[in-house]
A and B are shown apart, each in its own frame.
Chain A
Amino acid sequence: DAGITQSPRHKVTETGTPVTLRCHQTENHRYMYWYRQDPGHGLRLIHYSYGVKDTDKGEVSDGYSVSRSKTEDFLLTLESATSSQTSVYFCAISESAGDEQFFGPGTRLTVL
């Protein structure tokens, strides 16, 4: 398995609280992605990074911010969590744009 971990794996929080999810890789891949997966929607891209401090928005970026200060870490922050952000969040990495992506195990987030 590709060296990619996510933390926490499960989190329950309340509406209005800030939440940060962490993705860590040991593969030195340039690209990192955050997706959310919801029934009936498949995976939707939230943000992605193409290098340290280089990030861009995906399809569903509203309410989310990201940071990448090191090659190995990509953080996803929900500044003020809402119930609509209850979802399973996946991090993925790839060497180049459009290449095979390797996925982390996912984080199940519940916002009450």
Chain B
Amino acid sequence: SQQGEEDPQALSIQEGENATMNCSYKTSINNLQWYRQNSGRGLVHLILIRSNEREKHSGRLRVTLDTSKKSSSLLITASRAADTASYFCATDAFPGGYQKVTFGTGTKLQVIP
């Protein structure tokens, strides 16, 4: 089964609105990452947050991590049509080895112009 599970599976919003995606995982982690995938392309790394961090920002992205609840959220503020993509969380799970990063099934975001 997946270590990380994103919620919701799909999200449709108007341009300019904020988009929030959540990721839950099962075992202790060293770090958690978020990736974006445009249709038909490879994944692109967005942000990495370590287990001792609670919040991290990168441009219009804000990521939070709650290790007590084993969950993370990705907030995209002031969304644009170009943000339309699938978003995946990825966790390194111990035991299993930190090199075995596990991806969730993703949230498909549609931003309507």
Size class of the A contact interface (CB-based, 8 Å): 20 to 34
Give me the interface of A with B, judged by CB distance under 8 Å: 31, 35, 40-45, 48, 50, 56, 58-59, 90, 92, 97-106
20 contacts between A and B (CB under 8 A): A31-B99, A40-B105, A41-B105, A42-B2, A43-B88, A45-B101, A58-B100, A59-B102, A92-B43, A97-B97, A99-B48, A100-B33, A100-B45, A101-B90, A101-B101, A103-B43, A103-B44, A104-B42, A105-B42, A106-B40
Are A98's CB and B45's CB within 8 A? Answer: no
Residues of B within 8 A of A (CB-CB), count? 24
Q: From B99, which residue of chain A is reached at the shortest CB distance?
A: A97
Closest Cβ–Cβ distance, residue A62 to chain B (whole Å): 16
- For A56, the chain B residues whose CB sits under 8 A away are 97, 99
Cα distance A40–B99 in the bound complex, in angstroms: 23
Are A45's CB and B48's CB within 8 A? Answer: no
The proximity string for B residues 39-52 relative to A, scoring 1 for CB distances below 8 Å and 0 otherwise, is: 01111110010000
Cα distance A50–B101 in the bound complex, in angstroms: 13
- For B105, the chain A residues whose CB sits under 8 A away are 40-42
Cα distance A97–B101 in the bound complex, in angstroms: 8
Cα distance A43–B33 in the bound complex, in angstroms: 14
Q: From B103, which residue of chain A is reached at the shortest CB distance?
A: A43
Q: From A6, which residue of chain B is reached at the shortest CB distance?
A: B42
- For A90, the chain B residues whose CB sits under 8 A away are 42-43
- For B98, the chain A residues whose CB sits under 8 A away are 97-98
Are B102's CB and A45's CB within 8 A? Answer: yes
- For A50, the chain B residues whose CB sits under 8 A away are 99
> Which residues of chain B (84-107) have a CB below 8 Å from chain A?
88, 90, 92, 97-106
Cα distance A41–B103 in the bound complex, in angstroms: 9
Cα distance A111–B2 in the bound complex, in angstroms: 26
